[in-house]
């Protein structure tokens, strides 16, 4: 299709080239990233079709992966993307993220760090800020609940044992596992990560609620303190 044809509204295109009709006829695998986005956008802007706006959007943010990292304000800065379309795009990204996550519901048994990675990697990998999460376990290492303790750059002052273990005590947890992400994509623990983990593990020992693991999630990989043998004196998951 020529550039002149692209500039026309999608309704003027041959039906076989319209993204929605093409998807219905041939399935989503037959569409490019821009065509899939065009279906979400529905309309373009003056002299630009939805596909052209989608192509420009992907070019600016660095592809589909970059789209997941963009906030609403960043998306709205792109011509043809208003608050409603930006919200639709973020909604689609979040639904995709959640669909990839292995369910971690009450009663799920945690037997390895890989179980945690499968659940949390799709949720945490594209976050721009660090999220610190706690998973509460019963005596059989099954999940009682999970919750977010803090959001932002992790420091010893932000993640205090009192707040971290409050829910564990309230829910009568037998053990806890901590997780957080590194927005850089590199899960290598920092000195502060190690100091924080040591402090929380000591608090857990005093309370009789062992810290079974602290998993740091990066882009496609993770580091487990338990797997590395960095949690001295803590009980084994099994």
**Boundary-marking domain end, from 50, 79, 100:** 100
- Is there a single domain that holds both residue 57 and residue 91? yes
From the DSSP assignment, how many helices (H) and strands (E) are in the chain?
10, 5
pLDDT at 177: 97
**What percent of the chain stands above pLDDT 90?**
55
Q: Is the pTM of this model over 0.85?
A: no
Q: What CATH number is associated with residue 7?
A: 1.10.150
Residue 160, SS3 per DSSP? coil
**120 part of a folded domain:** yes
Is pLDDT of 40 > 50? Answer: yes
Q: Work out the mean pLDDT of the chain and round it to a whole number.
A: 86
pLDDT at 156: 53
Per-residue pLDDT tens over the stretch 181-235: 999 999 999 999 999 999 999 999 999 999 999 999 999 999 999 999 999 765 5
- Is there a single domain that holds both residue 21 and residue 87? yes
Number of domains in the chain: 2
Q: How many other CB atoms are there within 10 angstroms of residue 135's CB atom?
A: 25
Is pLDDT of 105 > 90? Answer: no
- Is there a single domain that holds both residue 86 and residue 181? no
What range does the domain containing 57 cover?
3-100
**144 part of a folded domain:** yes
pLDDT at 18: 81
- Is there a single domain that holds both residue 130 and residue 205? yes
Cβ within 8 Å of residue 174, ≥6 positions away: 137, 138, 139, 209
**Boundary-marking domain end, from 43, 68, 100:** 100
- Is there a single domain that holds both residue 76 and residue 140? no
Q: Read off the pLDDT band of 5 (50, 70, 90).
A: very low
- Is there a single domain that holds both residue 173 and residue 95? no
Alpha carbon distance 166, 26 (integer Å): 53
Per-residue pLDDT tens over the stretch 125-173: 888 889 999 999 999 999 999 999 988 776 655 788 988 899 999 999 9
**Boundary-marking domain end, from 52, 77, 100:** 100
- Is there a single domain that holds both residue 66 and residue 130? no
143: Cα separation from own chain's centroid: 20
pLDDT at 128: 82
- Is there a single domain that holds both residue 163 and residue 203? yes
């Amino acid at each position: 299709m020529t550039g002149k044809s692209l500039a026309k509204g999608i309704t003027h295109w041959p039906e076989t080239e319209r993204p929605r009709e093409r998807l219905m006829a041939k399935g989503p695998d037959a569409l490019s990233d821009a065509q899939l986005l065009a279906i979400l956008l529905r309309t373009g802007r003056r002299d630009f079709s939805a596909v052209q706006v989608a192509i420009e959007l992907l070019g600016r943010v660095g592809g589909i992966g970059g789209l997941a990292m963009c906030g609403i304000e960043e998306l709205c800065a792109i011509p043809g993307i208003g608050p409603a379309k930006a919200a639709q795009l973020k909604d689609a990204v979040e639904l995709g993220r959640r669909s990839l996550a292995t369910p971690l519901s009450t009663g799920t048994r945690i037997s390895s760090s890989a179980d945690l990675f499968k659940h949390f990697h799709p949720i945490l990998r594209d976050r721009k800020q660090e999220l610190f999460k706690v998973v509460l376990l019963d005596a059989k290492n099954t999940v009682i609940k999970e919750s977010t303790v803090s959001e932002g750059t992790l420091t010893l002052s932000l993640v205090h044992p009192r707040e971290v273990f409050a829910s564990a005590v309230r829910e009568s947890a037998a053990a806890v596992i901590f997780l957080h992400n590194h927005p850089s994509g590199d899960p290598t623990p920092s000195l502060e990560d190690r100091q924080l983990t040591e402090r929380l593990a000591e608090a857990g020992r005093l309370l009789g609620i062992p810290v079974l693991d602290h998993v740091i999630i990066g882009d496609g990989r993770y580091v487990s303190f338990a797997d590395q043998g960095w949690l001295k004196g803590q009980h084994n998951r099994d």
